[in-house]
Each structure stands twice: as structure tokens, then as C-alpha cells.
């Protein structure tokens, strides 16, 4: 079986096909099995399939509202809301988290408590591909919006996750999702959900709505090839921070910082642009913060003592706290110039966390001391 056999086909369908070939005797249950099997041996895959079947049995056996918690789910009581549906009339949306695997499930109950519709095929349940247990921490927002012009109320979800390993270990991050209503219940367009999260449009219900309904998008920030393309799509350049620098490995480039505002959230980017207007490199210093609150400064100086100019950026960023209060933090990022471009130093902030009193010059001195070099004169 070659990769070309599945070229251009949706990933989920590829996974279904492989699983059906390997485990045809398991039957229809595997036809929507949402995991990648490539990294598993036979024993691991058997254990995963057994866990999946057990989880789906519990899920499928929930027929009444009263059975949700008895089936191993914790109901999120403060996120239960009524919604009018074409298929079932008015129902209650009851979100719940699987206590064993921390997977989010949505149950829809009529006024007699019968479960008329349910789904756990959600974007957030595939954060750890190939695993049952997921890093779901909190259902942060549920909103009903008419998104696609059919007159039916759709559902916008924002979930907070916290990974227990990897680059994001211990750091909360958001996952957005949309369920569109139709004549039979609800469905997802995984392509939209992928873009919502891949291009950081998951910051708020308003951001997701602006993308899905309004057609706004941050995608161009990551795909644009020229300065003019950025401007044409609404990128606002911070002109007082623009300047040309001679980079030893990349030549003479203009440092172009700026923002793109979508649903009141300003995404901050920095580009290195050549004299013909082509983008040579780009940086996204704000990480998982929601919004650029204030840019404090950018400097291009040799920080690690290798004779090549590096980039340090310092800014204030804002985000919503646990109770949706506005939080503002100072943070910085350092990018070292190398032969093939730049790479971000993600370790230095563990030793030198940013404070509200830090300045660009002060951070340069700390960083050079970290590398055993004196600050530049």
C-alpha cells in the first residue's frame, strides 16, 4: 500500500480504510475510528482498539440524561443551554467530560430527558493522536450562532487544554470548534476546525465567528510571500520600528513588524523583507497570548557572540484570565541567526523570566551574560 493510494483523500477516511483492512472482523465500529495507527505494534493496537471499544460502548449506552454520570461522564453544569433544532425541536445541550480519558462529549436531551443526539467527534479529542486520553481541562465557551446562512443555530466551542508533556507541557491553550446544524442533527467540517486552530483564530467566539461567517482570516500572515500582499490583506505595519539591517547570512533586509486585527484581537508578526519586497523570514513572537497590547521594542544585535545579528523583541501582551478578566504580561523572544535562517531560544526565559520592569537593553545584557559574553558597546 503506497502513499499515492491515498493522496488527496481526507485523513480520517485513510485511517478508516487501513483499520478496516486490518480488522475487518471488528465491523462498523471502526469505520470512524479517529486515530492514527502507524506508530503502533500489534499489541499496542489491540490494547488501543479494546480501550476505544469500551469507551464507545459506554458512550452509546447513554440513552437518558440520568445515565450520563452513571456512564462515567462528569457533566459541565454551568455550560448547559437550550437550543432550538430542526430535527428535534427544543433540546438541552449537555456537555460532559469522560472521567477516565478526559474526552469531551456533547449530549442533547429533550424535555423528557431522552438523549436524542450525541457526539464525541470533536477537534479537541484528537490532541494526542493515537491515544485515548486527551488533555481537555475546561469547556471555556459555548455559543449559538447562525453561521452559514441556512437559518439554523450552529454551535461554537472553545476548550482549554493542558498537555502533560512536549513543548506545551503545563501551559494552557485553546482549541476552537464549530458544529453546523442540519436536518439530522449536527456535523463538523474538519477543514474549518483545522484552520481555526492552525492559524490561531481560536481566541474567542467572536474570532471564530469572524472567520466562519465573516470570511476574515489570519491565514495570509503565514502564507504571504510579499510585503504588498500583507498590506493588501490588512496588515498594519508599525512604521517607527521598521528599518534595514545587513544580516550576515541573508543580506540586506528590512525588519517589518506589525499587526492584523480580527474581532478586536491584534495578532503580532515580524517579517524580514528583501529590497524587492519578498518575505525572506517571519516570526510570531506572541505565542499563545491573545493580543498585542503594546510593542516595547525590537533590536537586531549579536547576542550569542557568534558575530551574526540576532533579533530580540519585547512587548506587552494581553489575554483573558480564568474569570475572563483582562490580564497583561510582558514577554520577550530571542531569535538567533544561523546559516539557514533563525531559530528561537525557548530555554532562556526559564532562567530569565520577563518582568514588567525589563527593557530591551537590559534583556540583551542578560542574554549575552547567559552566553558568557559582554553586552555590545
Do residues 247 and 230 both lie within one domain? yes
The Cα–Cα gap between 348 and 141 comes to 34
Do residues 285 and 351 both lie within one domain? yes
Do residues 236 and 353 both lie within one domain? yes
Instruction: Indicate whether 283 belongs to any domain.
Output: yes
Tens of pLDDT along 83-97? 999 999 999 999 999
Do residues 116 and 26 both lie within one domain? no
Where is mean pLDDT largest: 233-237, 287-291, 351-355?
Answer: 233-237
Question: Could you identify the residue written with the cell 559582554?
Answer: 374
The Cα–Cα gap between 187 and 178 comes to 9
Do residues 174 and 247 both lie within one domain? no
Percent of the chain with pLDDT over 70: 88
The Cα–Cα gap between 284 and 315 comes to 12
Do residues 245 and 147 both lie within one domain? no
Do residues 18 and 99 both lie within one domain? no
pLDDT, mean over the chain: 89
Instruction: Indicate whether 184 belongs to any domain.
Output: yes
Quick one: which H or E segment has residue 70?
A: none
Q: What pLDDT does 376 receive?
A: 53
Do residues 73 and 120 both lie within one domain? yes
User: Nine-digit cell at 370?
Assistant: 547567559
The domain of 165 spans 66-213
Question: pTM for this structure?
Answer: 0.83
Could you give the number of structural domains in the chain? 3
Do residues 93 and 203 both lie within one domain? yes
Q: What pLDDT does 42 receive?
A: 60
Amino acid at each position: 500500500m503506497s502513499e499515492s493510494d491515498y493522496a488527496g483523500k481526507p485523513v480520517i477516511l485513510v485511517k478508516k480504510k487501513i483499520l478496516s483492512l486490518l480488522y475487518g472482523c471488528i465491523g462498523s465500529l471502526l469505520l470512524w475510528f479517529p486515530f492514527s495507527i502507524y506508530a503502533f505494534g500489534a499489541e499496542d493496537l489491540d490494547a488501543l482498539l479494546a480501550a476505544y471499544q469500551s469507551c464507545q460502548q459506554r458512550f452509546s449506552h447513554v440513552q437518558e440524561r440520568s445515565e450520563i454520570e452513571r456512564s462515567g461522564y462528569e457533566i459541565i453544569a454551568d455550560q448547559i443551554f437550550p437550543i432550538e433544532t430542526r430535527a428535534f425541536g427544543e433540546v438541552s445541550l449537555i456537555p460532559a467530560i469522560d472521567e477516565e480519558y478526559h474526552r469531551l462529549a456533547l449530549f442533547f436531551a429533550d424535555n423528557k430527558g431522552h438523549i436524542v443526539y450525541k457526539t464525541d467527534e470533536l477537534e479537541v479529542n484528537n490532541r494526542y493522536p493515537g491515544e485515548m486520553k486527551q488533555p481537555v481541562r475546561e469547556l471555556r465557551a459555548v455559543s449559538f450562532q447562525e453561521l452559514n446562512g441556512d437559518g439554523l443555530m450552529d454551535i461554537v466551542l472553545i476548550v482549554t487544554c493542558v498537555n502533560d508533556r512536549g513543548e506545551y507541557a503545563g501551559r494552557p491553550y485553546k482549541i476552537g470548534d464549530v458544529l453546523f446544524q442540519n436536518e439530522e442533527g449536527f456535523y463538523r467540517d474538519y477543514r474549518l476546525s483545522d484552520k481555526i486552530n492552525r492559524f490561531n483564530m481560536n481566541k474567542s467566539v467572536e474570532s471564530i465567528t469572524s472567520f466562519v461567517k465573516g470570511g476574515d482570516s489570519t491565514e495570509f500572515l503565514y502564507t504571504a510571500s510579499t510585503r504588498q500582499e500583507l498590506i493588501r490583506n490588512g496588515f498594519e505595519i508599525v512604521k517607527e520600528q521598521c528599518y534595514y539591517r545587513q544580516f550576515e547570512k541573508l543580506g540586506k533586509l528590512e525588519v517589518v513588524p506589525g499587526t492584523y486585527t480580527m474581532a478586536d484581537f491584534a495578532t503580532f508578526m515580524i517579517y524580514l523583507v528583501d529590497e524587492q519586497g519578498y518575505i525572506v523570514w517571519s516570526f510570531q513572537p506572541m505565542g499563545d497570548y491573545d493580543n498585542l497590547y503594546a510593542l516595547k521594542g525590537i533590536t537586531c544585535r549579536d547576542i550569542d557572540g557568534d558575530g551574526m545579528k540576532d533579533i530580540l523583541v519585547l512587548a506587552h501582551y494581553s489575554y483573558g484570565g480564568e474569570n475572563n478578566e483582562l490580564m497583561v504580561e510582558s514577554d520577550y523572544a530571542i531569535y538567533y541567526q544561523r546559516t539557514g535562517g533563525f531559530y528561537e531560544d525557548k530555554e532562556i526565559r526559564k532562567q530569565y523570566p520577563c518582568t514588567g520592569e525589563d527593557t530591551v537593553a537590559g534583556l540583551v545584557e542578560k542574554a549575552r551574560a547567559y552566553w558568557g559574553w559582554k553586552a555590545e558597546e
